[in-house]
Amino acid sequence: MNPVTDPYAWIESALETIYQADWYRSVKAIQGRPGAVVQLEGKPVINFASNDYLGLAGDERLVQAAIAATQEYGTGSTGSRLISGHRELHRELERAIARLKQTEDALVFSSGYLANLGTINALAGKRDLILADQYNHASLKNGAILSGATILEYRHGDIEIVKRMLEQQRNDYRRCLILTDSVFSMDGDLCPLPQLLDLAEASGCMLLVDEAHATGVLGATGAGCVEHLGCSGRSLIQIGTLSKALGSLGGYVAGSANLIDFLRNRASSWIYTTGLSPADTAAALTAIQIIQQEPQRRTQLWQNVHWLKQALIDELGCVHDTTPIALLPSTSPILCMQVSSPGTVLKLGRSLLEQGIFVSAVRPPTVPTSRLRITVMATHELAHLEQFITALRSSLQNLLP
């Protein structure tokens, strides 16, 4: 008899392949509270790798709200919302989200990822068509796969292709759903929302927009890209997270009262999971109050974004289409610098880290091309931004002569 081969041996060789391709990833521990400067494995670094755009994740008011809610309601929600895990605090948060988004209602999930999985899967099925931007977040892509609908990906931001796909395919399907990030998380540009909405309305399609990186950041009241592009009040489905600018954990869907009522009955990633913890719920509720009451945080964030972008262009000559390093077009606090290979981006990241600058080196398969992904925060000081430019100049001179 042949010796039985180890059924897990393939994992080691798969890891080796990942390693050889410079795709290997591992975690690094941050100490202390989050902020513009953090301790990374014991060393202070200026943080350009966080989604905490407004600096709220370490804000004392959120911390105190989480402590107070934990003391009053305990640590866990103890059950799914439909069984024993529902608190009035959850409804308060949902009402606050709906007010911010100017929608009839909202529903809070345990994460933005789960909000996308549950919502897309509830809205589309085998007889339906999903049109999706090729650069959408993984949670939108996996939600679409889970639904069993026919999926057509369109070229990033290309409204003409969406139009053609709708003309050619819409009538062969029962329902149609268009999926898009509003701020693209690995590029920093915006979707053509008004045009997509026009197309969706003209062809009887639903439109779901993921505002994960826009909520708290874009729009006069921080409601997101929908507000920024003048689309508040139009029929669409808005997804978002409580874990980025809102500094907490959890996700949400905002839309019509019927949509939300339907999701409470059909979104399995909401029905069959434990309700959000009291601490996360209370922190998010406090964050929503702060983003509405302190617009100066957004003003400061955008000042920092404009300063840094201009310095990258003026002082380092980074523009679109240049080699060896190209600044990707962005209209958000996410600035990406594309480089030639995963190896190069890793070296750049390491060199910056040695100079006390923490940025993420993003590689395939997360993105098609390797890039440094820089996220700007409202709590960065001018000196932080200047240090970044100095460090990047030196890294580029050493690595890309």
Binding site for ligand PLP (CB under 6 A): 111-113, 116, 137, 139, 181, 185, 210, 212-213, 241, 243, 251
**Sign of the dihedral through C-alpha 137, 142, 147, 152:** positive
Nearer to ligand PLP by Cβ, of 229 and 318: the residue is 229
Nearer to ligand PLP by Cβ, of 243 and 338: the residue is 243
Nearer to ligand PLP by Cβ, of 52 and 59: the residue is 52
Minimum CB distance to ligand PLP, residue 385 (Å): 23
CA distance 68 to 78: 18
- Contact by Cβ (8 Å): 126, 244: no
Nearer to ligand PLP by Cβ, of 219 and 395: the residue is 219
Minimum CB distance to ligand PLP, residue 231 (Å): 18
Nearer to ligand PLP by Cβ, of 115 and 385: the residue is 115
CA–CA distances in Å: residue 278 to residues 67, 71, 90, 110, 269: 9, 9, 8, 12, 19
Minimum CB distance to ligand PLP, residue 108 (Å): 11
Minimum CB distance to ligand PLP, residue 52 (Å): 12
Q: Write the CB contacts of 107 (distance below 8 Å, at least 6 apart in sequence).
A: 94, 115, 252, 253, 260, 263, 264, 267, 270
Minimum CB distance to ligand PLP, residue 317 (Å): 30
Length of the chain: 401
- SS3 for 145? helix
Radius of gyration of the chain (CA): 22
Residue nearest to ligand PLP (CB): 112
Under DSSP, the state recorded for 395 is: H
Half-sphere exposure of 350 (CA within 13 A, CB side): 8
Nearer to ligand PLP by Cβ, of 119 and 185: the residue is 185
Minimum CB distance to ligand PLP, residue 80 (Å): 18
